[in-house]
Amino acid sequence: MRIGLFTDSQLKKVKAAHSTAPYHIIADSTYIGLANANDIVEVFLEGGKISILFRGNKLSKFKKISFYTINKEESIEFTGVIPSIKSRQYEGDFEFSLANNAMRLVNMVELDTYLEGVVESESGTGQKLEYYKVQALISRTYALKFRNKHLEDGYEICDRVHCQAYLHKRMGNSIIDSAVRQTTLKVIYDQNNELAPSYFSANCGGQTCNPAHVWNETIDGLTSFKDTFCIYTKQATWKKSIPEAEWISYLVNTYNFPIDDSLSRQLLFHFVQPERTAFYLHPGYGIPMRDIREKFHLKSSFFNTRKEGDFIIVEGRGYGHGVGLCQEGAMKMARNGYSYDQIIRFYFPSVKIDDFTYK
């Protein structure tokens, strides 16, 4: 896989250090040398080209600088100097190249090695093996299904939540590594034998969301259903107060909400959503729940409202878009003894689990 790193930053200067094994450095067709653990290598943008500082020597005017490891199990640490970004360690090979007045850094890494970093970045530590297998399968399926997503950017998938969080290499958590290796090649196929749309979010709030409410399109095999596994977990409920004036002005200015009509005005502050709906109050007002969530940075679009003084109290359930697999529900299922395939089939009832094959 080719994974874009630090893709939310315009990289101008990066430091590479603390390699756990020597790395060959090649700039265009020039061999620069072998970097060891105690070498600090700087790669930076200068005059529209890439320069490198290695053991006191500066070499300039390159288009591409590559780091090739002599042992793929080993890692190197990258730190953003301009802009300043905290150090991150990754395994595999690396390539700096030019991109829009900045540098692009791509990590060339085996799929399962990448997944070990993703599974830990996306679901943290302290979970059951069967849960990590679930996350490994959905993340593997996602990576293979969407590997063309960033081709224009010079890599396949980015390191952000936009694709899947990949914040570091595997941290040596043996249960995560085993979950990835024990499920190697395994992916989720939909009823048409295509890689399934393996969406997931942190907590569905007790009912998964119809994809049409989020993206305006239905997705085969993904519907809304009740999930009781996540309702007593830590992100199951939330609350936020919003000044009444802000609430009114958004709904009136954006959706021409009929505020002068006394019946509508009454409704505006009292909304109960026992089941997920696409629109606030009534579809006739045309106010998508999804838009309110985005506007007020709410944790989910599954909420009730009421008025208290000059504030609208928004009381919600769940965290994230709610489509597909619910991570906290799946974690609970794993703690209750369900196997990874039972968990996957609960959230994606029409899929099958099989080894990945290139078509």
Find the part of the chain contacting Zn ion (CB under 5 A) among 72-80, 189-197, 223-231, 249-257.
223-231
Name every residue whose Cβ is closer than 8 Å to that of residue 191 and which is 6 or more positions away in sequence.
Answer: 220, 221, 350, 351
Name every residue whose Cβ is closer than 8 Å to that of residue 284 and which is 6 or more positions away in sequence.
Answer: none
Least distance from C-beta 278 to Zn ion, angstroms?
19
Comparison of 119 and 165: residue with beta carbon closer to Zn ion: 165
Phi, psi at 145, each rounded to 5°: -70, -40
Q: How many residues bind Zn ion (CB under 5 A)?
A: 8
Cis peptide before 243 (omega within 30 of 0): no
Comparison of 130 and 227: residue with beta carbon closer to Zn ion: 227
Cis peptide before 83 (omega within 30 of 0): yes
What is the amino acid identity at position 312?
I
What is the amino acid identity at position 283?
P
> Is residue 159 a contact point for Zn ion (CB under 5 A)?
no
Comparison of 124 and 283: residue with beta carbon closer to Zn ion: 124
For residue 111, give the H/E element and its range.
helix 111-123
Find the part of the chain contacting Zn ion (CB under 5 A) among 60-68, 82-90, 113-121, 229-237.
229-237
What mask of x and - would describe binding to Zn ion in positions 287 to 326, judged by CB under 5 A?
---------------------------------------x
Beta strands in 248-351 (DSSP E): 303-308, 311-317, 325-326
> Is residue 143 a contact point for Zn ion (CB under 5 A)?
no
Least distance from C-beta 269 to Zn ion, angstroms?
28
> Is residue 234 a contact point for Zn ion (CB under 5 A)?
no
Nearest CA to 319 out of 311, 329, 332 is that of: 329
What mask of x and - would describe binding to Zn ion in positions 182 to 221, judged by CB under 5 A?
----------------------x-----------------
Least distance from C-beta 218 to Zn ion, angstroms?
20
**Quick one: which of 43, 50, 118, 158 contacts Zn ion (CB under 5 A)?**
158
Comparison of 288 and 322: residue with beta carbon closer to Zn ion: 322
CB 211 within 8 A of CB 222: yes
Nearest CA to 184 out of 121, 136, 142 is that of: 136
Comparison of 165 and 312: residue with beta carbon closer to Zn ion: 165
Farthest CA pair distance, the chain: 76
Name every residue whose Cβ is closer than 8 Å to that of residue 261 and which is 6 or more positions away in sequence.
Answer: none
Comparison of 58 and 232: residue with beta carbon closer to Zn ion: 232
**Quick one: which of 41, 50, 163, 165 contacts Zn ion (CB under 5 A)?**
163
> Is residue 230 a contact point for Zn ion (CB under 5 A)?
yes
Least distance from C-beta 158 to Zn ion, angstroms?
3
> Is residue 227 a contact point for Zn ion (CB under 5 A)?
yes
CB atoms within 10 A of CB 42: 16
SS3 284: helix
Residues engaged in binding Zn ion (CB under 5 A): 158, 162-163, 204, 227, 230, 326, 329
